Structure 1
């Protein structure tokens, strides 16, 4: 992952939402208004989440990694949102269980190969509960970006 995917304007420290579709729609709208994604991104990411959920029951902090096909993206970016209260997502895989997500990484990726590489690098963070908790406890946008850069270098 390169720094070019991370932008302070796409890091939210205390984001409020009641449920996951509202959260996804609102965050997709932010990405759209800033020119990162097309208007079709919101419906596409919500539809994909229903079929292929992205909630991860990770150690320390529960995460979700909503994303959709590159055709809905104008320029690559990662939106990071620390949620003020957990939002329930379905767990990735076949369990059908719920995950109360506290940290969300919304991916807008234009290249499928880059998409897989980005997901793989993010998964390396998710498998380390200490690093994930440290990232979640960051209190500035710059700190989050710096920690992600450091972890993913």
Structure 2
């Protein structure tokens, strides 16, 4: 089975490192692109700026951190869902927040899933690996 591309958007270098370790365990590391801000995520998706030469096509899923400076995950989610070229991309929100208002806002804005980042290292690795395997290997997605 061939893994599809995943875009991980997170401003926390520690969380990115842990997520990449989880993807490595799931043999998905080569399928992951990383954006460190909301602005960079949109540049990646639109193939502009430093991502102008990226491979064509969209990722099969975007794993999007909710709490980021400048442009938070909700703003990125809104921008993606408002763009007809990007709107069909599934978005999985990742957050430490269990606040009902955060969860509700994300689903109302078009998130496909909302996952609370586990505090425990092992649980975080397992959660990210499970998300990656589901979206990159098991889930059938629409063709670009």
TM-score class, shorter-chain normalisation, is 0.3 to 0.5
TM-score (norm 2): 0.32
Judging by fraction of residues, say which structure has more strand: 1
TM-score (norm 1): 0.31
